[in-house]
Structure 1
Amino acid sequence: MCGICCVVSLSPQSLVLADRVQKNLINRGPDNSQDVTRTVINTDFKCLFSAHVLQMRGCLTPQPLQDSAGNLLLWNGEVFGGLEVGPEENDTVVLLEHLSAQEDATGICSVLSRVRGPWAFVYYQVAEHCIWFGRDYFGRRSLLWHLDPEDVILTLTSVASCLLICDQSQWHEVPAAGVYRLDLKDCASHRKKLTIEVFPWVTTDDHPTAHTPDYTWEDLPTYATIVPNLCGVFLQSPVCPMNMSMSAPERPLGNVQSPKLSLEDLEELLKQSENVEKVTKLIEVLSEAVRRRVQSLPSRRLFVEQSGLNNEADIAILFSGGIDSMILAVLADRHVSAGKPIDLLNVAFKLQETKMQTQSAKKDRMPKKDQTDEHPKQRDHNLTRCFDVPDRITGRAGLIELQHLSPERQWNFVEINITPDELKRMRQERISHLVHPLDTVLDDSIGCAVWFAARGIGMSMDCAEQKPHTSTAKVVLTGIGADEQLAGYSRHRVRFKSDGMEGLVKELAMELGRISSRNLGRDDRVIGDHGKEGRFPYLDEDVVSFLNQLPVWEKADLTLPRGLGEKLLLRLAAKKLGLGPAAILPKRAMQFGSRIAKMENGREKASDKCKRLVTE
């Protein structure tokens, strides 16, 4: 993973990155930093390419990477398939070789269409004097753009800063609707004009002339325009189209009638032959997705060989004990070396004193003598009770299940406890810049919770004693994508209740279509700030294609009770994998499970603009 930045300027000003942006980029890539400046021949354009590398595969490969012809590549991504990358090879080198061999837009789009995995990139094609840039189909890696309102300056960067300019609205995420090309020769011939061409993603059912993706850029200055490419070239979607069938079978799935849930309900559904094949296939594709993301970490292997240390985790999981993270843990256990620990990162925000007083009313009625004689360990336990949020409770229960399923594995359950003072301080110092340009109450809650969780600093049990623990894992698995594809959110039940199957199908199609702008860029910026890489197995191309092929009613049945009907197919997979109570836990959003949402104004709506994200 990397922090990448490109500045294209027709201004006489020197190309200098703001200190805050530079620091944020270095945090993402602490292993190597390098800047390269180019002046485009026969034009007034100057280009700054800045890259900051986190070594993940093969030998350390500084960026910007340049070939013998002078082509430059900034690559923030992982090639998990589509292009052949050897165990000890660096995917940036492999990709540049493929891109350099292409002479036209068709060839470049063909290469990018083949890549399986998350990516954002900037590529300077020297022979054509073109800048190519963009994000993968789901937008799993962040890329922001900014066009100066006065001077002709385009900036592309993995992460920005909300202090860089006065008008914060001028930073935006590059739409994950395709890739983009800026022809510098053409721009020079039309002085003071930038024309950016879009090469859209299309599916096999689309005709390129009829495909009109939403590639609109907001707040464009008068000197810039975004247009469809004139050569009719497009990228081939890496996933199949979503099954939009709406005629669900009349018969219910199974014999579940009672609103009370039990594991026997899942067992009954698993007996049905029509479910067995789908559950087996889901486990197969999801297991392979996890394998791709937890193996091939040669840089860590070299560290182990040189230091002799093998007792620190390479892999961490954002862990609530819910079904999404539990399944990731079970599947990671299959593919992580037996002697390696796995870190389970569980974040909790301190409950307010008024809430604690209510919860401990019975304790307050204890006789004074009993309180005086309270054992020191009991007092320590009481001090930590303010962090016993719902996700902490389900996380501990999930740990017990995992220890039962895989007793030989060292599971580091890392309790990450955050006080209001620390939350306020780190939000102002770092998190607000990372969440930017997103700015809602929901972005604040999720961004803060993920940032503290991914940091991995907390306490874990060691020989029946809690000790400080800092996760060393460079790879952090998250469960994002499961709810969006399998109707896991409460709003899906609301839509189903009001508009039936047709409404639910449309809602899920919208969810997957907007995940790049709603979630993934923000999460990538937040996790990457710790020099770690977020990976999303539920958004693996093969996983999404498999789920897209199924009609919605085979993935979820919202006529069944909460804790069973939503994400039904995933719950069946959990049961088949040996999970118990976690398989029927109802969905609880991270902002509520960690209790960060309870620390602020309870009257706020998730979609409201968040004043706390405005730095002082």
Structure 2
Amino acid sequence: MCGICCSVNFSAEHFGQDLKEDLVYNLKQRGPNSSKQLLKSDVNYQCLFSGHVLHLRGVLTVQPVEDERGNVFLWNGEVFSGIKVEAEENDTQIMFNYLTSCKNESEILSLFSEVQGPWSFIYYQASSHYLWFGRDFFGRRSLLWHFSNLGKSFCLSSVGTQISGETNQWQEVPASGLFRIDLKSAAISRCIILQLYPWKYISSRENIIEGNVNSLSQISADLPAFVSVVANEAKLYLEKPVVPLNMMLPKAELNTHCSNISNVPLTRETLQVFLTNVHMKEIIQQFIDVLSIAVKKRVLCLPRDENLTADEVLKTCDRKANVAILFSGGIDSMVIATLADRHIPLDEPIDLLNVAFIAEEKTMPTSFNKERNKQRNQCEIPSEESSKDVAAAADGRPDMSVNVPDRITGRAGLKELQAVSPSRIWNFVEVNVSMEELQKLRRTRICHLIWPLDTVLDDSIGCAVWFASRGIGQLVAQDGVKSYQSNAKVVLTGIGADEQLAGYSRHRIRFQSHGLEGLNKEIMMELGRISSRNLGRDDRVIGDHGKEARFPFLDENVVSFLNSLPVWEKANLTLPRGIGEKLILRLAAVELGLTASALLPKRAMQFGSRVAKMEKKNEKASDKCERLQIISLENLSTEKETQL
């Protein structure tokens, strides 16, 4: 994980300008292990590169990296497959070595077509004055662009800033392919032309059968008049890393292998009926295998203490977790946790991050009320210590109950995991968030990370993910409750399961009105828009804690496997909630030894954590969220001073 940024100026009067302080601060939050800036000047333009690294694998490689020819590279990604990276090597340097050896644009495209894993990058080719940049096919890493008026400058960055009064705000770079700008030409013409090299899928007969989702006109729609997006002159493209969605429809009425399922109680045995079918059982095992490999790649690419003494190994209670999981106890997080347990060393704890929002603060302990009033009078944001006091007080008071739905299922899920793997230390981290803390940290931190997304849904999910991934809470153990902060640098999340496996209620609605054909189209749409709807936001929010989000369900091999299956082998929406949606995942859970969690209906994070409608009851998820609106620069500075 890194914070990467490149600011380009075409006007000599602005040469030498530094990045805005707020932008540098946001970038450093993502990359706490090293920071460096590099200035590259030409007669017609100037580029300021800024790199901030979160060190996770190999030798710490400070960014930006530069070679003897003046080429510059910024990389925010993980190479999990496709390009060989040894355990002791750093993928930033490996990718840069490959890039600088590319003789033409076709070889650059071949390189990025081979990489499997999340990435965004910025690459400056000094000899040709080209600036290349882009995001992976799913958009798992954030990259934003900002164009100034009249084409005098533009900026690319992992994260932006929200400042009132600015008309041209940051926008997400579409995950539509690679972009290339001729900086010398742009400086002379004062027109920025973005050449796009789109993603395309090639059939075995070498016929293009599936192009990129976003058309040139869609990408250009929200850009200033002096910026245009055009197809690259050579009509080259990147090869899509996943196979197209199987749109096949059944020739006859489906046999569910359990025709009377709607009339019996939903139990684990109900699901086991499906596994009596040999074909279905084979598919489930294949799914477990491919998902297990995806999890393995995401939990082993980490620095670990390999030289512990025997005594140190025995002291597992002193070991720190390297991996955390956004954990609701639902089917997605339970399966990820179970598979992570297969591959993480047994003497290493796993942090399960479970968030709950506290709606009422009417009867707090007297000591806490005094402390809260003191902070309010001093205009201070609650410290981490006072947040823990809120959590502890809340957990012991009926009127401050944090027994929200995800907390209840989370605790039940913990018991299941302890039964499946009793030798593992499972740190169930109860993250409890008060209304006061939510409002203040949304205003000072979270709203700047969610931007440019701005709906009520973005607010709810963004806040829930930010607080959960921060990992400040409490552990409830046999010897009592103790404060805890997760220091795990890697955070696994189950995003991608609902989109591919018909997990949302809208999938069921679409199926009821348009059958399997409509359901297929809905799934295709969900996966096609996941980069702009979810992943950039979640990457910015989790990365703000100096942690890296990893998405096993969006591993290229997992997506290709699921795309290859007909829809009825993944979900069966003729069956009740708790079975029909994500059927293939529920059956995998049964095979993995899970029990009650395999039958839990889908519950969105914003409702399970109770952050949705906490402040306003009558708003819709798609409404623009007033709470995310820009605050003035003066107020922003005042708020930040109170945190110091």
Normalising TM by the smaller chain, what interval? Answer: over 0.9
Counterpart selection for 2:286 from 267, 281, 288? 281
Counterpart selection for 1:320 from 284, 306, 328? 328
In the TM superposition, what is the alpha-carbon distance from 1:170 to its structure 2 partner?
2.9
In the TM superposition, what is the alpha-carbon distance from 1:17 to its structure 2 partner?
1.5
* Residue 358 of structure 2: aligned partner: 350
Query: CA 1:33 to 1:165, structure 2 compared with 1: closer, same or farther past 3 Å?
Result: farther
Distance 2:75 2:264 in 1: 50
SS of residue in 2 equivalent to 1:170: coil
Letter in 2 for 1:231: A
Letter in 1 for 2:271: L
In the TM superposition, what is the alpha-carbon distance from 1:66 to its structure 2 partner?
1.2
Is residue 4 of structure 2 the alignment partner of residue 4 of structure 1? Answer: yes
Query: CA 1:615 to 1:35, structure 2 compared with 1: closer, same or farther past 3 Å?
Result: same
Query: CA 1:230 to 1:379, structure 2 compared with 1: closer, same or farther past 3 Å?
Result: closer
Q: How does 1:287-436 map to 2 (within 5 A)?
A: 287-298=292-303, 300-301=304-305, 311-352=319-360, 381-383=396-398, 386-436=401-451
In the TM superposition, what is the alpha-carbon distance from 1:502 to its structure 2 partner?
1.1
Query: CA 1:102 to 1:160, structure 2 compared with 1: closer, same or farther past 3 Å?
Result: same
* Residue 170 of structure 2: aligned partner: 171
Mean CA deviation greater in 577-586 or 270-279: 270-279
Counterpart selection for 2:504 from 458, 479, 489? 489
In the TM superposition, what is the alpha-carbon distance from 1:149 to its structure 2 partner?
1.9
SS of residue in 1 equivalent to 2:189: coil
Distance 1:304 1:144 in 2: 42
Distance 2:583 2:117 in 1: 26
* Residue 377 of structure 2: aligned partner: none
Unaligned ranges ≥5, structure 2: 365-391, 632-644
Letter in 1 for 2:162: C
Query: CA 1:66 to 1:596, structure 2 compared with 1: closer, same or farther past 3 Å?
Result: same
Which deviations, in whole Å up to 9, do the C-alpha atoms of 1:147-184 show, x marking residues without a partner?
A: 112342111000001117522x6311000010100112
2:201–2:208 CA contact under 8 A, matched in 1: no
Distance 1:303 1:339 in 2: 13
* Residue 570 of structure 1: aligned partner: 585
Query: CA 1:317 to 1:53, structure 2 compared with 1: closer, same or farther past 3 Å?
Result: same
Distance 1:497 1:422 in 2: 42
SS of residue in 1 equivalent to 2:401: helix
Q: How does 1:74-93 map to 2 (within 5 A)?
A: 74-93=74-93
2:164–2:630 CA contact under 8 A, matched in 1: no
1:493–1:558 CA contact under 8 A, matched in 2: yes
Which deviations, in whole Å up to 9, do the C-alpha atoms of 1:174-233 show, x marking residues without a partner?
A: 000101001123324x42121110000000148569946414134322322110000111
Is residue 55 of structure 2 the alignment partner of residue 47 of structure 1? Answer: no
* Residue 39 of structure 2: aligned partner: 37
Mean CA deviation greater in 90-99 or 347-356: 347-356
Query: CA 1:165 to 1:70, structure 2 compared with 1: closer, same or farther past 3 Å?
Result: farther
In the TM superposition, what is the alpha-carbon distance from 1:384 to its structure 2 partner?
7.8
Distance 1:353 1:614 in 2: 26
2:210–2:244 CA contact under 8 A, matched in 1: no
* Residue 20 of structure 1: aligned partner: 22
Query: CA 1:249 to 1:385, structure 2 compared with 1: closer, same or farther past 3 Å?
Result: farther
Distance 1:429 1:442 in 2: 19
Query: CA 1:400 to 1:276, structure 2 compared with 1: closer, same or farther past 3 Å?
Result: same
Is residue 556 of structure 2 the alignment partner of residue 541 of structure 1? Answer: yes
In the TM superposition, what is the alpha-carbon distance from 1:461 to its structure 2 partner?
2.3
* Residue 97 of structure 1: aligned partner: 97
Letter in 1 for 2:182: D
Letter in 1 for 2:31: G
SS of residue in 2 equivalent to 1:4: strand
SS of residue in 1 equivalent to 2:95: helix
Distance 2:308 2:488 in 1: 13
* Residue 613 of structure 1: aligned partner: 628
SS of residue in 2 equivalent to 1:73: strand
Counterpart selection for 2:267 from 262, 265, 269? 262
Distance 2:33 2:165 in 1: 29
2:271–2:590 CA contact under 8 A, matched in 1: yes
* Residue 185 of structure 1: aligned partner: 184
Is residue 126 of structure 2 the alignment partner of residue 126 of structure 1? Answer: yes
SS of residue in 2 equivalent to 1:431: helix
Query: CA 1:449 to 1:3, structure 2 compared with 1: closer, same or farther past 3 Å?
Result: same
1:524–1:534 CA contact under 8 A, matched in 2: yes
Q: How does 1:440-451 map to 2 (within 5 A)?
A: 440-451=455-466
Distance 1:234 1:379 in 2: 55
1:200–1:213 CA contact under 8 A, matched in 2: no
SS of residue in 2 equivalent to 1:488: coil
Is residue 139 of structure 2 the alignment partner of residue 135 of structure 1? Answer: no
Distance 1:108 1:547 in 2: 29
Query: CA 1:383 to 1:304, structure 2 compared with 1: closer, same or farther past 3 Å?
Result: farther
In the TM superposition, what is the alpha-carbon distance from 1:5 to its structure 2 partner?
0.3
Distance 1:599 1:87 in 2: 46
TM-score for the superposition, normalised by structure 2 = 0.88
Which deviations, in whole Å up to 9, do the C-alpha atoms of 1:506-554 show, x marking residues without a partner?
A: 0000000000000000000000000000000000000000000001111
1:30–1:52 CA contact under 8 A, matched in 2: yes
1:7–1:15 CA contact under 8 A, matched in 2: no
TM-score for the superposition, normalised by structure 1 = 0.92
* Residue 454 of structure 1: aligned partner: 469
SS of residue in 1 equivalent to 2:19: coil
1:80–1:116 CA contact under 8 A, matched in 2: yes
Is residue 192 of structure 2 the alignment partner of residue 228 of structure 1? Answer: no
1:172–1:437 CA contact under 8 A, matched in 2: yes
In the TM superposition, what is the alpha-carbon distance from 1:409 to its structure 2 partner?
0.2
SS of residue in 2 equivalent to 1:109: helix
Letter in 2 for 1:50: S
Counterpart selection for 2:599 from 574, 579, 584? 584
SS of residue in 2 equivalent to 1:22: helix
* Residue 369 of structure 1: aligned partner: none
Mean CA deviation greater in 347-356 or 447-456: 347-356
Which deviations, in whole Å up to 9, do the C-alpha atoms of 1:394-450 show, x marking residues without a partner?
A: 000000000001000000000000000000000001000000000000000000000
Is residue 527 of structure 2 the alignment partner of residue 512 of structure 1? Answer: yes
Counterpart selection for 2:253 from 234, 250, 253? 250
Query: CA 1:244 to 1:55, structure 2 compared with 1: closer, same or farther past 3 Å?
Result: same
Distance 1:186 1:378 in 2: 62
In the TM superposition, what is the alpha-carbon distance from 1:464 to its structure 2 partner?
3.1
In the TM superposition, what is the alpha-carbon distance from 1:379 to its structure 2 partner?
10
Unaligned ranges ≥5, structure 1: 357-376
In the TM superposition, what is the alpha-carbon distance from 1:247 to its structure 2 partner?
2.8
Q: Give % identity.
A: 54
Which deviations, in whole Å up to 9, do the C-alpha atoms of 1:438-472 show, x marking residues without a partner?
A: 00000000000000000000000234311001001
SS of residue in 1 equivalent to 2:430: strand
2:199–2:212 CA contact under 8 A, matched in 1: no
Distance 2:297 2:394 in 1: 45
